[in-house]
Structure 1
């Protein structure tokens, strides 16, 4: 019997209620009144429901989380209509919209919440072998179109197309006959597993295994030790590590007892986290977190409230949840006067929807430290009246409570910023301030005037024309001063917005807590004209860079140029997938994804001149690919994959090379091509592996990618587990490579 992903789930009352089915209301708006019958199927893999026109279903494997109560924009907008104890939200992976449901009773809602949590936890606890078995099980079910528990050769041929492979029919038929032990002309589930293993046999792995096997059948712990030392460059711990790997990955108890590893165990090791290109030591919290804040790259979001474009897109608290889950530590909140004295958040002077400021802060309070315990910075763009600024300040204090940093940590004016370690669990407000920290204890006025030179004013200057804006937003943009209330000003401690005049002025007059913001175009101009001065400035103070206001589609600029000169807060539109977010995710994938990455020493010393060390020469042998996803859902459409390796870093290190493409094979393409690079400053470099579907006539289609800091790469034979355009896992899709890094003489 094929492995079933939920076969190990113990009998559960909640799951039984879900299987019996429930009439749930799908909440979309106050006006929508749709009721549907939702039912968990017996296989626990799908939730079926009937709409007005057809039967539909959701895969439980696609559900990332279940939220209880009013934790979505829809529920927040109709909070008075649905009691929170009857409400829950299913959150799907990728960019699929959430599903907001209302049960008939609190007890029924709890059953669905607990049941979904059980299914999610079961999936998360599955090992790599179980995940692969689940994938094979899904293939069998797809092939078995008439659901009789067996598949014909005709169904197998169709399956091969679904699996992204155009195999010679004679060869496929031969494998089918070999797997058909019962000689019935059909494959049962166990026979299909045998067929799949023959189909996906990794010739390149078998050859590598036999090269180090003393008897051609197994790897003794000495054989494995030699492989780890010679190929994986793990000489310091190879003997002890070899025994650990056998115990961890060898499926045979007999082999374990004999301290040997079979080909199955060897393949399991190579596809595991231990065999990943990303050094697991660098995925833990390994960096010094006691340096001043200015010495870190800080994962930062722009227009965090937007899920779409910044002209007509939807504003949502979901933007804050998703950014925080990705390790973002600096969130942007654009605040404007709302009706009934309630400040709202939206992209001003546009048609984007509005959400309540208090809902944003409630969301931040709940999710701020679920992914990382290090400080969260709220970059507040304040366009509110004095009256509503007071409301904002009170909401920040009431909702965030002790999490909100309201005084310096030692009660003194800082000569240097505190560290992420000292600010653990704290939320900082970044914004305008009347005076400086030196005047905290003085008799400040109730309100004061501050410069209007900040992100928003510059964004408006290079953004939209007044003719394209809503009629109520055609206001003067020439204001040079804005009234700021003392209540809000006092909440700005270590992150004061300060207009940038020039580097000399900042060096003489700048305070440690001053933060200057630059549009991408202004930052690029400075980098072109005075990169060394910019780097030295960023060794003294924090700089934030944000996308141009002309990017109405919420696209992003390449952040690497800004990181190269030490800009700490390079704010990107997290809602927009692509190369730029791949680089951001890649940089912050290290150091336990805590949202803070210690800058290289050369960018932390304001007096030191940049002088790159000897270059490193990585040789990257792109060997093969495994189970690459289809890019076209048509049965007969099969990818022609090729791999592009891209280096991002200092200009001298930027490079791109490609393999040739393989025709009609997304299942197990083999390239065996070696690409050579030279990297002069590895501590600033990122390496991106991209797989695309070659097309002679049109633009190549994206298949998957993986981006990793160059300094976190493990040498040797490694697997690269590909990610989708949205940054979600594409397992079991992977690349198999051999990395050899040498230092230039």
Structure 2
């Protein structure tokens, strides 16, 4: 527990905003402006500074003897600006927990176990600890068969094909039986695949080097990797499931260790529920072992399965009813009660289909082929293989039952507890062909979006596009801190990983009505900064030339085509401004202004203002610090923007700005 306590102190993504304060005294660059602002405001005899200048709600703009009015004295003004109340990001309000769980956006991780890229990085149980302590509420586990004694990892399927795992609920399940084929054939195939993967790995390494990416350290949090707190000892000689990215060179970790890491850290940063998404490649025998491990590790944390809940007909419960609960998402299979003799039916259909395929392949000439009778089953039926998910495992998914997506008219699309998992590409295609059906589905039911399989460098898609389509779980690679992770931080800061959707996006709305976008004129004046962190690898403050880039992430008509790139269309059409570069870690920006005029067609809750401080270098502007604030939480007046470093960790860095928002 000492390790968890230490890691909790380093929480960045869901850190309490009460820690966002400045240690006095201010740097000279900041003091120069603060003194001038105080003199100007007091000379004007400004009686309502908090309401008239800072635009604080009337009920919140109160003062006490312990906390006098900010303009009472210069010292009081210093104290106010150094306090959390002066932050540019409004503190998260107490959230309504009474809505159904499908009415919330959920902070979600993709391939949580990985510490780096998708091809050759290491899998660690501590990765779950890190993301859960950082506010993540939905994690993913890829489960493969464990090795029998004396068996190599290649013989159990983890490196026997090219990379391509895509987080679908319909992945092939590896067999517990030994694979057929000669040892020479296996060795030849393994050698070819390893050579191919190694070549891909080298190309990714070159790309990372060119882009200035750094592989995340795999050493952090590993001290307890093989000693999960309180984990039961595995049965000697019995293989247990492993966690890794299949068909790649990634190194494995233990499913048991992962489950206990989740147990120990799931409810440290928040008591709101955690969703565990299982991508199962293990055989039925080891799936039973999975069930035993989860029931042992998460005892008291799983939702009790009743016949009504198992049937999947119960509406999703309110969020408040699932505190300190772990929800398992796994592919749903019918029980015998639901489908009669399910296995016999499935085998009969599958056998019939395979016989039809054999008949289609048997002719050796066009004439013979034309004589082959074509039945409706042989031309239109699709393979329906016997289920490869154990019933005991499937029934653990209570409010998050995974179903394969075909279209929004399929019967499963109306099952209250269903979850559709789609790739980013599939969601974009669904939006292009039937955007209304996509949005309406996501108002009522769960959708999880995951990155395309080609993102082998663990890059991320822009999550804002998918949030605007109503998708609750947009899975990101947390091991790569990029633009998407900054936006995720802006969405969930201080919210404990669950954010209530805006009106019009919720299935519980009595009268959904029309979502009314707004028009905005936003002005941000940059005065000064202090304690700006240097970019990674930089040591000379005198050769640091910071400038600020401000980006307004707002939906545009072309967003669906450009959001997959590093800069969305909204960042290329007038919603991106930069200051001139200045000098040092305590810079004076000289009151440089940025104006975003007549911005229209947006919702405050799904629009983000992102700040990046970069070093003005020749050919490469290295990122030094950043901040991201949701527009509905961006406060007006004289404010402090608190900065994180390039890895997402909070710093002492800050910007003094003046913000105005005018709506029409």
Normalised by the length of structure 2, the TM-score is 0.71
- 1:486 equivalent in structure 2: 391
| Whole-angstrom distance in 1 between the partners of 2:112 and 2:657 | 37
2:638 to 717, 738, 742: 717
1:740 to 654, 660, 663: 660
Question: Structure 1 residues 308 and 481 mapped into 2: Cα distance closer, same or farther (>3 Å)?
Answer: farther
| Whole-angstrom distance in 1 between the partners of 2:64 and 2:327 | 47
- 1:663 equivalent in structure 2: 582
1:416 to 282, 305, 315: 315
2:609 is equivalent to residue 705 of structure 1: no
Aligned residues of 2:7 and 2:130 also touching (Cα < 8 A): no
| Whole-angstrom distance in 1 between the partners of 2:451 and 2:477 | 8
- 1:325 equivalent in structure 2: 133
Question: Structure 1 residues 527 and 444 mapped into 2: Cα distance closer, same or farther (>3 Å)?
Answer: closer
Aligned residues of 2:308 and 2:314 also touching (Cα < 8 A): no
| Whole-angstrom distance in 2 between the partners of 1:204 and 1:549 | 50
- C-alpha offsets along residues 20-43 of structure 1, whole Å, 9 cap, x if unaligned? xxxxxxxxxxxxxxxxxxxxxxxx
Structure 1 residue 297: Cα displacement: 0.6
3-state SS of paired residue (2:88): coil
2:39 is equivalent to residue 210 of structure 1: yes
Structure 1 residue 617: Cα displacement: 2.1
Question: Structure 1 residues 246 and 673 mapped into 2: Cα distance closer, same or farther (>3 Å)?
Answer: same
| Whole-angstrom distance in 1 between the partners of 2:46 and 2:145 | 66
3-state SS of paired residue (1:365): helix
2:249 is equivalent to residue 361 of structure 1: no
| Whole-angstrom distance in 2 between the partners of 1:636 and 1:515 | 51
2:50 to 223, 228, 233: 228
- 2:610 equivalent in structure 1: 688
Question: Structure 1 residues 625 and 484 mapped into 2: Cα distance closer, same or farther (>3 Å)?
Answer: same
- 2:68 equivalent in structure 1: 246
3-state SS of paired residue (2:654): strand
Match runs of 1:284-299 below 5 Å: 284=93, 286-299=94-107
| Whole-angstrom distance in 1 between the partners of 2:100 and 2:319 | 7
- C-alpha offsets along residues 643-685 of structure 1, whole Å, 9 cap, x if unaligned? 1111223226934332332332331322312222225321211
3-state SS of paired residue (1:290): coil
2:466 is equivalent to residue 544 of structure 1: no
Structure 1 residue 710: Cα displacement: 0.7
- 1:308 equivalent in structure 2: 116
Question: Structure 1 residues 127 and 502 mapped into 2: Cα distance closer, same or farther (>3 Å)?
Answer: closer
| Whole-angstrom distance in 1 between the partners of 2:57 and 2:285 | 66
Structure 1 residue 535: Cα displacement: 0.8
- 1:530 equivalent in structure 2: 434
- C-alpha offsets along residues 379-431 of structure 1, whole Å, 9 cap, x if unaligned? 00111111101110111111111111231598685442112211111111100
Structure 1 residue 288: Cα displacement: 1.7
3-state SS of paired residue (1:421): helix
Question: Structure 1 residues 521 and 239 mapped into 2: Cα distance closer, same or farther (>3 Å)?
Answer: closer
- 1:186 equivalent in structure 2: none
Structure 1 residue 499: Cα displacement: 1.1
Q: Which has the higher strand share?
A: 1
| Whole-angstrom distance in 2 between the partners of 1:329 and 1:125 | 21
Match runs of 1:22-101 below 5 Å: 66-67=2-3
| Whole-angstrom distance in 1 between the partners of 2:114 and 2:250 | 8
Question: Structure 1 residues 491 and 238 mapped into 2: Cα distance closer, same or farther (>3 Å)?
Answer: closer
| Whole-angstrom distance in 2 between the partners of 1:394 and 1:663 | 60
1:621 to 515, 520, 525: 525
- C-alpha offsets along residues 446-504 of structure 1, whole Å, 9 cap, x if unaligned? 9988x99xxxxxxxxxxxxxxxxxxxxxxxxx996542222212212111111111122
Q: How many residues align?
A: 517
2:518 is equivalent to residue 593 of structure 1: no
Question: Structure 1 residues 241 and 446 mapped into 2: Cα distance closer, same or farther (>3 Å)?
Answer: farther
Structure 1 residue 719: Cα displacement: 0.4
Question: Structure 1 residues 427 and 628 mapped into 2: Cα distance closer, same or farther (>3 Å)?
Answer: same
- 1:405 equivalent in structure 2: 303
Aligned residues of 1:645 and 1:658 also touching (Cα < 8 A): yes
Match runs of 1:249-648 below 5 Å: 261-280=72-91, 283-284=92-93, 286-339=94-147, 340-407=238-305, 413-435=312-334, 439=338, 482-505=387-410, 510-589=414-493, 592-605=494-507, 608=512, 611-631=515-535, 633-635=538-540, 637-648=542-553
**Which range is displaced more, 545-554 or 232-241?**
232-241
| Whole-angstrom distance in 2 between the partners of 1:132 and 1:380 | 48
Structure 1 residue 641: Cα displacement: 1.8
Aligned residues of 2:468 and 2:606 also touching (Cα < 8 A): yes
- C-alpha offsets along residues 57-89 of structure 1, whole Å, 9 cap, x if unaligned? xxxxxxxx9428xxxxxxxxxxxxxxxxxxx99
- C-alpha offsets along residues 599-643 of structure 1, whole Å, 9 cap, x if unaligned? 111222598575433312222222222222223534364222221
| Whole-angstrom distance in 1 between the partners of 2:329 and 2:342 | 19
| Whole-angstrom distance in 2 between the partners of 1:568 and 1:539 | 9
Question: Structure 1 residues 446 and 495 mapped into 2: Cα distance closer, same or farther (>3 Å)?
Answer: farther
Aligned residues of 1:66 and 1:91 also touching (Cα < 8 A): no
- C-alpha offsets along residues 555-587 of structure 1, whole Å, 9 cap, x if unaligned? 111111111100111000111111110111110
Q: Which structure has the higher relative contact order (CA within 8 Å, separation 6+)?
A: 2
- C-alpha offsets along residues 219-249 of structure 1, whole Å, 9 cap, x if unaligned? xxxx5743223211236247733755328x8
Normalised by the length of structure 1, the TM-score is 0.64
- 1:142 equivalent in structure 2: none
3-state SS of paired residue (2:256): helix
In structure 2, stretches of 5+ residues that fail to align are 148-237, 351-382, 560-569
